[in-house]
Structure 1
Amino acid sequence: MIGRELCIPGWVREQEWESNLFHPRNCKDLGLRFQIGHHKGEDCPFVPLAHPDDFVVLDNNGIHEVDIDFCGCPGATSHVAQLLNIGWYPATSKDPRTAATLSLLRRFHTLNLQARVPAYDFYNALALLRNGSGLRKAPARLPQFMHMVREYRHLQMCKRAGRIHDPTGLAGTVLGELAVACRACPHPEVNLPEGWEDAPPEIAWIYRLLVSEDANFKMKGRDRSSRAKDPTLGPGWAYMVANDDYLEHLVRYTEKDEISHCVSFAALWSANNKRAKGLRASGVGSVSCSRHELFRPLGTGDLQKGEKYSNMDYIFFSSLIGIALLTVVASYDIACQWSRNFWARASAMPARLKLPAGLNMLFKVPKFHLPPHVKSCHGPYSFNYTKGVGRTDGEGVERNWSWLNSAARSVSVMGPGSRDDTIDDLCGFSNWRKTVDLGNSLLRKMVLAIPQAMVHSRAFHAFTNGLRGEHETELHDWDTLIREWERDPLNADINPFDYPEIEVVALEAKRRTRTTIQATELQRKRTLLLGKVSALQDIQNVYMPGLRQWIAQQDPPLPVPDNSKPETIKIFLPSSLPAADREAVCLPNLTQNEEDLRQAQAGEALRELRSNLRTRTFAHQFKRKHMGGQGMYTKSQSLQDGIEDRVRSATARYRAAWKGLLVLRGPGEWQSELRELRQEDVRGINERAMNDEEKEENRKARLLAGLTGDGSEDVDAYGEPIPLTVHFNLEAGEGRRLASWLWLMPMGNCMLVSEIRLADDYIRVEWSKARARANRWREELLLLEEEMRRTVEFCLWKAKWWEERLGLRGGVAPALEEGLEAYVREQMARERGWAATWSARWLPVRTRAALVLRDYVGDVDEELLPLEVELEEDGQEEYEFDDFNEDDD
């Protein structure tokens, strides 16, 4: 059998009919012999006398004992080559007695990578297929199977990297060559345009490399075997760093202990080091690209004891070997500390890990990990406030862990070499799947970014326009402050995103439950209110002489007022009457008088509402910072209840005024300033409403708790629904938060000087954040466009790279030469197919993005520049912003 895979007969097991039943047999029992090295049906006239009579083959349908006749003809190939020629992979290169079909190895490899089926479980499943009853024990070949699987992994990585086409073979493999590179990241001389290094600062940021680093303490490695007995097949050829050089570096830092400040690093250090006894590796550290989450070549290594800088530095610098870019943005959950003395540690690295001179490094903390850091870290290390990173969150390496950890148990019991090879294979598979999915993932990101960029650009323009009347000068000052801070983000004295500290909060609270004294007070207030209502009704007899007659004519009759609850008595004003009846009921100009009063009432209620919402923010921040214990918590909650009462009162008065104006004026231009106040609009300047995903999660959680999914039973002490909002979220979710329209309107002149100053600080922070959001989404569009272009260019370059392998290896057998050429052409076809398919699929969305960037999304960094020129030259304070047409969105 030559040139194709020879499979073992039978689906599950071989059987022989005897004594009126089938008896289990194997191929050997049935007298079946496999002639290797000849075509089907041909016998070898030179069969060696010494041939294996205990050969075992592992196939998809079980474990088989077979008899084999190797070819002994003059000039016959080796036994190993004969086995490989029929698709059987031998367990050893010397006198093999065990083999596995390539079909079996391919199946296990796929199941292991995709479904995390361990080799131990897979092998035992084969044994069950062969002997489920346990009456006939299969030959033990687990160690041999492990050995074959490991070699198969390694050879597949080498083949896919083109090593078989290189005349130098495996010996010529360079460090990191077997890794699957991220084709959407920048690679000079591959997918970057000529002259990229001389690009002006306005666009140079799109050529940055963004990487993320983190440690994973679930990927442990037990102290099994040794590297002398279990060496790595490809040391440093893919993702895991070369162990010898790595350990040589680490021995110089055995006593270093760096974790000390910011978050609770002492507790983190303790957690990372507990239960380290009996482990060769307490975990792994790794570096991946932040934008696309692919593992970096030579960017993964074992951690011996905790997350030491000596380990993480080596892994990080190793992942940047050969980098030829100008700027790297590095994300790490302790970047605020790790960045200290970074360049001093870099200078102590081995020569092969030295970074190129002039490389600029920016350090950031992933978005989800930033809130627990101290306040001074939030501004300078936030992706939300960093120019040129788009909507990168830096958490991609964490998502890689969630995928890799499913193989942690099986990897933990491997020897050191097997562990390295397996992790290399797992990382390669992850990178490959993400490469295949680039057509979908970049498309999804662009589809999301286009409307978000428009929304946040429009929101920033609206916010700015709303501030012109009272903060025109401040706008220019804030813009100047932001530009200065962006040049020096570590300067805490000028951080435009810092809220003022609130040290003292004095609030008068209203109790939820009524005591006897409170009930008496309520009755007293009702008595006073009834007197005021009676006085108003007397005045109405003068200004609305036809009111009593109008009330008497209503059909059906209006309810009789309940004097015991004067708060329920309806007060009839001109806005309460149909427009056709007002002239007969009211004196002339009375309707206009109410309209003017309603306008004033709405403005006053709006200012009071904003003031109370600011107070609520201050109270929450004070509570979170200073309150501890049940007693203090209860008292603070009582104070916050009082604030909510005032928020509710101002909301009700505004809505009453707005409804009155709507009746008197009808829909019109006035609604652009005094808008309808919905429940989701009643939130502080740095509070955000729940998004759809959060509302859905809340609904599911309520259903699991036995409540209604719509929250209909969530009412306060007054029977009003409790709004679903997420309060004071300064980091997570910042990129999509939109300020309520309450804060886009002019503030008016009805505040104290201290309130105005405090309000200005909060407005400055929110305006700065709105500006940052608009910029980040605009950058996201530009980055995605560039990444799509780079991906296509990489595919075309890779196709040419494969084409250069044609005929590169000469002097081989014609059959092998034909196979090498076929493999190259297969790779070329796939790369060109990706380039054509993805280009066509992305064309509509790229065209739309270009139009949106041109017509709807302006660069906010440039928008305020004309203001500075006008102030200096003409002394005028005018702002020019493009308006957005709703119909064009």
Structure 2
Amino acid sequence: MPQLSTRASNGRRKKPKPGPRTITFRVEGTLRSDPSDASASIQHPASLDHSSAAPNPAADEFTNVFDDPTGMDSMANVEPISTKKTSNNYLASWLTDSAEEYLRILYESESPPGTKFCDHCHRSSNFLYRCTTCLTQRYLCNACILTTHRILPTHKPQLWDDDTWVDVSLFKLGHVLNLGHRGEACSVSCDAGVSPSKLLVGDLNGFFTIQVRYSFTTTLLDTLNVYVTLGRTSAHKFYSVLERISNPGFPDDIKDRYRELMATHRRYLRLLNWQRSGHGFETHQTDHPSSHALDCVACPRPGHNFDEEEVSHDELPFFRAWVSFDGNFQSVRKDKKVEAGDICLSEDQAYVPNKQQYKEWTGQQKEPQRTEKPTCDHHKAGNDTTTRCFVPGGFVDYFRGERFIYADYALASSYAHMSRLGRLTLGMTYDVWCHYQTNLTQRVRNLPSSITLPPDLDLMGAIPKWHLIGHEQACYVRWSLDHTQHVGRMEGEGPERVWAHLNEHSGSTSEQGPGARTDTLNNVAYEWNFEKMIRMDQHLSGKFVEARRMYLEQKAVHDDLMEDLPVEQVLKWEAMSLTPVQGRDKKWSSPLMDPVWSGATRWLSEGIELEHSMHNLRDEVKKHGPKPTPQQSTSINKQRINLANRIAQHNKKRSQFMGQLIEHDLDTEPAGSTNVGEPEHTDLGLPSSFHPPTLSKAGLTSLADLEKDLRRGMCDDALESVRQLLGARALALNYKRRHVRGEVATTRAEAKLRDQNAKVAKVRWRYENSRDALFRLGFSDSDHRCYQLITVDDLRSLKSYLEDISRGVGQGYAKISWIWRSSATTNTDDWQVNALRVEWFRSRERYKRWHEQLILLKREMTMTLRTFRTREEIWKWKAHNGNIPPGMRCYALKQSKFYGALAHRALSAFQPHLCDRIVTLQWSVTWLDRNTNIAGFLPNPSP
């Protein structure tokens, strides 16, 4: 007798022991003969009444491809098939001969009852129900659905509402589950008038043996699909769970149907894709031929959720569609042998374009050579970059690393889908946009004619925010999204989040053949977009609340900064353009770049910062003591190496500014001079290291005056920090005295006070360090008054002085500390204003991006509503056009109601934000006025 193979513990099938060969048989003429001995592999739960249902004419050869060959009862009607045939051969045969028939059966499951009589009590009823969980197709009245489900509370009934089958719950129909008395009602509780309690029940079923060879209900296939996509688990794990539930402890008693489950699931996905794309219906003018993809509902799609003619010229920049491109090197397919006749059921119909055309085109392309070496040496599937959905046609494979032609093809393929009903401006973020945009115009001329980009395409590029950190400053100025207008708070990192999801499927996709892998990726992308779609009401509402708060906060910060700056200077800045400009030296500049100091100013500023770093390192060495731990020693050594490198870079420029003055001529050696070779005790050779006569003789008086200005600015900053820290310390001490009780709380509060004291001491050192340098360079008359020595008595908060000293005894001798009455000026020096210029521009751009974010969110909310309404009306149009069976009409109306329900739920969530006048998008206001009111949507004519 033939012997079946079994699965190993790791999911692979064990090689069968030697014995008679396994022979596969095919039933002849299945579609025209009585299939009573073999049921269709895909069965709707409501169509499996094996006791009374008529023979199913949809059964075909696919049913028996994986049947148990030990069933010899049908030997008279079978012929042997060559064992060289693979599952791909059978899949191709099913697709050609039987797929349409299976789709017809799926549509028939949505057909109306065809009778007004209950199949149980045989009485006429205006309301008929069916159960999608029961393995019978019976139409029941209200009383009978409750009677037959008296002890089946987890079943899912549906009600016929004259158009479609609508999900209802047994609970709402009046079902009461009696847990005692063998399912009968308790007479005591009924007499006492006790109301039943509500109970939430969870249930999951496994395999059950019935008189068919094998069958997988659509409920099981739907559940499997959710687990392997949204749940990100493998199909084998799901199958193992079903085995455990079916027969705990004896899994070998369950016949191995894993291979059949996988084959059936692929076929079922094909049927689902056909259904969801409207296969068999009349073609609507907005339909994309053969497209099974679910597009983003919130992104601009001309002719679908907006028309360019509706948008004013001022608002049009907010209607640019942005996509992100990135490569994923973890979602790979192993280099395994491909079975003959490998077939894909979704290629060029969803998110992956035609792979053969793509492979041939990329193999023929030679990327243009660079004419010059790129200045930025940072390095290292397209999706939309705001709501992070997969873009149809934008999923391509890499064959030889990350070549730009792969991105070119994905960009063109996705744009062809997005712009099929009208022109669209486009934006793209890419980790290496600074390199990618070079020769882009030349490369796109070679694209296939079917996806060629228009020559006048308005394309804008940028670098994602998290990747921009590794680029040079010019990239930050030219390609930063923080400096790009009309993009809001978009960060451009959408693919990174998608990859995290997709990589969890790579264990399965890496083992699959090319066709099955493409089907899986398309399915994962569809379910990802579906999940985004149904949660868009929560997603956009939450983002709007956050954007509103941050806009007001950043606007207040910018307004505060405006108050401390000269009005004439601010007016001058407001008139400046932010467009980056390339100078004669080929370097890019912009008002958003860091202040461009003269060489001497920059060198002196870096020297002062180095002094602070050296002091911090000396403090850390002192804190660890003479015998630090190995970990502490390693940390100190790393900091010393880094500091030594910075000092070496600084010293390379010293001769340029200090001339022949190398060794300082101070009267005393710098502190710690005995620690020879340690970078934290190095003298930097700034002008303050020399006597004024020496500087004058060397012609460095102007350089010394420049350091004086910088030192004064550092003293002013330090004094302001001291004042703030003293106030914070006073508040913390007062809080401790009034509210802190107990040993633990007291210890924590004292630790915080010690931290405050350490911060005060560090800022005090910074002040005194710059004051000493200023003193060596030469005090002016005002310097003696503004920059005095800070004593311990001076380190008292203003509130403490007012409460403890100012109103105490000895008023004749009391005086406020000089740090609270210092006449040190604020931001009036030219160099300080120049430093704040960049921060003024950046703070303005911060609140502007949040302002744009609010406008973009209103645009996305309105587009989401319009997309749902458009799809609702399209499916309604399909239901009433063409000569279609009742089941197809009911399915179309069901889809129409689904999108209508999404639209009403989204409108309820969006309405408060769309009516918020903090920002105004006139395009949105106009559409809402014409299509909605307080009660909801106004009647919408069919598109």
- Taking structure 2 as the reference length, the TM-score comes to 0.55
Alignment counterpart, residue 231 of structure 1, candidates 335, 338, 343 = 343
Q: Distance in 1 between matches of 2:461 and 2:351?
A: 23
Whether 2:277 is the aligned partner of 1:161: answer: yes
Whether 2:827 is the aligned partner of 1:715: answer: no
- Contact in 1 for aligned 2:477/2:580 (Cα 8 Å): no
Alignment counterpart, residue 857 of structure 2, candidates 750, 766, 784 = 784
Q: Which residue of 1 aligns with 2:557?
A: 459
Q: Distance in 1 between matches of 2:408 and 2:592?
A: 31
The alpha carbon displacement at 1:717 in A equals: 8.5
The alpha carbon displacement at 1:361 in A equals: 1.0
Alignment counterpart, residue 887 of structure 2, candidates 796, 819, 825 = 819
Q: Distance in 2 between matches of 1:51 and 1:306?
A: 43
- Contact in 2 for aligned 1:53/1:67 (Cα 8 Å): no
- Contact in 2 for aligned 1:287/1:296 (Cα 8 Å): yes
Alignment counterpart, residue 209 of structure 1, candidates 302, 307, 321 = 321
Q: CA 1:719 to 1:806, structure 2 compared with 1: closer, same or farther past 3 Å?
A: closer
Whether 2:903 is the aligned partner of 1:830: answer: no
Residue type of the alignment partner of 1:459: V
The alpha carbon displacement at 1:40 in A equals: 5.1
The alpha carbon displacement at 1:253 in A equals: 3.1
- Contact in 2 for aligned 1:154/1:234 (Cα 8 Å): yes
Q: Which residue of 1 aligns with 2:358?
A: 246
Q: Distance in 2 between matches of 1:212 and 1:625?
A: 38
Q: Which residue of 2 aligns with 1:800?
A: 873
Q: Distance in 2 between matches of 1:776 and 1:798?
A: 32
Query: Any residues of structure 2 matched to 1:17-28 within 5 Å, and which?
Result: none
Alignment counterpart, residue 113 of structure 1, candidates 220, 229, 251 = 229
- Contact in 2 for aligned 1:485/1:491 (Cα 8 Å): no
Q: Distance in 2 between matches of 1:621 and 1:392?
A: 37
Alignment counterpart, residue 376 of structure 1, candidates 469, 474, 482 = 474
The alpha carbon displacement at 1:296 in A equals: 0.4
Whether 2:516 is the aligned partner of 1:418: answer: yes
Q: CA 1:142 to 1:447, structure 2 compared with 1: closer, same or farther past 3 Å?
A: same
The alpha carbon displacement at 1:218 in A equals: 1.0
Q: Distance in 2 between matches of 1:677 and 1:638?
A: 35
Whether 2:235 is the aligned partner of 1:195: answer: no
Whether 2:617 is the aligned partner of 1:506: answer: no
Residue type of the alignment partner of 1:503: W
Q: CA 1:498 to 1:823, structure 2 compared with 1: closer, same or farther past 3 Å?
A: same
Q: CA 1:765 to 1:654, structure 2 compared with 1: closer, same or farther past 3 Å?
A: closer
The alpha carbon displacement at 1:772 in A equals: 0.8
Alignment counterpart, residue 496 of structure 1, candidates 563, 583, 591 = 591
Q: Distance in 1 between matches of 2:618 and 2:515?
A: 73
- Contact in 2 for aligned 1:442/1:784 (Cα 8 Å): yes
Alignment counterpart, residue 482 of structure 1, candidates 552, 577, 584 = 577
Whether 2:463 is the aligned partner of 1:390: answer: no
Residue type of the alignment partner of 2:303: E
Deviations 1:154-201 (A, max 9, x none): 221221121243479xxx9736x211111211111222146146x32x
**1:165 is paired with a residue of what secondary structure?**
coil
Alignment counterpart, residue 183 of structure 1, candidates 297, 320, 328 = 297
Residue type of the alignment partner of 2:354: A
Residue type of the alignment partner of 1:482: S
Deviations 1:423-469 (A, max 9, x none): 0000111001001111011101111111221222232233223212x
Q: Distance in 2 between matches of 1:648 and 1:374?
A: 28
Residue type of the alignment partner of 1:479: E
Q: Which residue of 1 aligns with 2:289?
A: 174
Residue type of the alignment partner of 1:190: H
The alpha carbon displacement at 1:757 in A equals: 4.3
Q: Distance in 2 between matches of 1:52 and 1:784?
A: 49
The alpha carbon displacement at 1:302 in A equals: 1.0
The alpha carbon displacement at 1:721 in A equals: 9.3
Deviations 1:105-136 (A, max 9, x none): 11211111122221223334444455655585
Q: Which residue of 1 aligns with 2:427?
A: 329
Q: Distance in 1 between matches of 2:762 and 2:856?
A: 40
Query: Any residues of structure 2 matched to 1:279-678 within 5 Å, and which?
Result: 286-322=381-417, 323=419, 324-468=422-566, 472-485=567-580, 492-499=587-594, 500=596, 502-504=602-604, 505-507=606-608, 634=680, 654=720
Q: Distance in 2 between matches of 1:391 and 1:478?
A: 23
The alpha carbon displacement at 1:68 in A equals: 10
Q: CA 1:658 to 1:514, structure 2 compared with 1: closer, same or farther past 3 Å?
A: closer
- Taking structure 1 as the reference length, the TM-score comes to 0.58
Residue type of the alignment partner of 2:316: A
Residue type of the alignment partner of 1:296: V
The alpha carbon displacement at 1:851 in A equals: 3.9
Q: Which residue of 1 aligns with 2:164?
A: none
The alpha carbon displacement at 1:209 in A equals: 0.7
Q: Distance in 2 between matches of 1:46 and 1:395?
A: 51
Q: Distance in 2 between matches of 1:389 and 1:187?
A: 17
Q: Which residue of 1 aligns with 2:848?
A: 775
**1:363 is paired with a residue of what secondary structure?**
strand
The alpha carbon displacement at 1:645 in A equals: 13
Q: Structure 2: where are the runs of 5+ without partners?
A: 1-35, 41-46, 78-96, 110-131, 136-211, 623-642, 653-675, 690-706, 732-746, 764-821, 922-943
**1:320 is paired with a residue of what secondary structure?**
helix
Q: Distance in 1 between matches of 2:713 and 2:298?
A: 50
- Contact in 1 for aligned 2:551/2:850 (Cα 8 Å): yes
Whether 2:257 is the aligned partner of 1:141: answer: yes
**1:295 is paired with a residue of what secondary structure?**
coil
Q: Which residue of 1 aligns with 2:780?
A: none
Deviations 1:637-694 (A, max 9, x none): 9999x999999986785588899xxxxxxxxxxxxxxxx965999xxxxxxxxxxxxx
Q: Distance in 2 between matches of 1:405 and 1:652?
A: 50
Comparing 643-652 with 324-333, which one deviates more in the overlay? 643-652
Deviations 1:67-95 (A, max 9, x none): 99999xxxxx999869989999xxxxxxx
Residue type of the alignment partner of 2:362: L
- Contact in 1 for aligned 2:851/2:919 (Cα 8 Å): no
- Contact in 1 for aligned 2:389/2:532 (Cα 8 Å): yes
The alpha carbon displacement at 1:100 in A equals: 2.3
- Contact in 2 for aligned 1:655/1:677 (Cα 8 Å): no
- Contact in 1 for aligned 2:244/2:251 (Cα 8 Å): no
Q: CA 1:411 to 1:624, structure 2 compared with 1: closer, same or farther past 3 Å?
A: farther
The alpha carbon displacement at 1:348 in A equals: 1.5
- Contact in 2 for aligned 1:218/1:408 (Cα 8 Å): yes
Q: Distance in 1 between matches of 2:305 and 2:581?
A: 29
Whether 2:206 is the aligned partner of 1:100: answer: no
Q: Distance in 1 between matches of 2:63 and 2:469?
A: 68
Q: Distance in 2 between matches of 1:152 and 1:339?
A: 43
Q: RMSD between aligned alpha carbons?
A: 5.3
Q: Structure 1: where are the runs of 5+ without partners?
A: 1-31, 59-63, 72-76, 89-95, 269-285, 519-618, 660-675, 682-706, 724-746, 855-889
Q: Distance in 1 between matches of 2:369 and 2:267?
A: 39
How many positions carry a matched residue from both structures?
Answer: 602
Q: CA 1:762 to 1:357, structure 2 compared with 1: closer, same or farther past 3 Å?
A: same
What's the % identity of the aligned pairs? Answer: 22
Deviations 1:485-513 (A, max 9, x none): 4999x985541111126334334669689
